[in-house]
Amino acid sequence: MSNHLDWGQKAYYEASGGDRVGLLALDEGHWAVVWAYADPHCSMQVLSFAPDKAQEVFEESRKGAEQREGLRYDSRREWMGSSL
């Protein structure tokens, strides 16, 4: 039995200002949203949520970034396959 965690990326966006945000799902059913902040912050934040709440937080974050500065990359339009 392996002790590693397999996170799968379900959705992703990059804001025009450089912040990157991903929606991740763990093979055990846990979900998380990860933020990688661009300069001048240059930090990361990962928060674990129930699946429905993680999707809600990710979508609200994406909507806010889209309204404030626009998106440089959005997995809803760019991925060849499915994305939330």
**Tens of pLDDT, residues 42-74:** 899 999 999 999 999 999 999 999 999 999 999
Domain count, the chain: 1
Q: Is residue 77 part of a domain?
A: no
Query: Which bin fits 15, alpha (ψ -120 to 50), beta or left (φ > 0)?
Result: beta
Q: Is residue 83 part of a domain?
A: no
- 39, pLDDT greater than 90: no
Count of other CB atoms within 10 angstroms of residue 25:
19
Q: Is residue 79 part of a domain?
A: no
pTM of the prediction? 0.83
**Whole domain around residue 15: which residue ranges?**
11-72
Task: Assess contact for 74 and 84: CB atoms under 8 A.
Answer: no
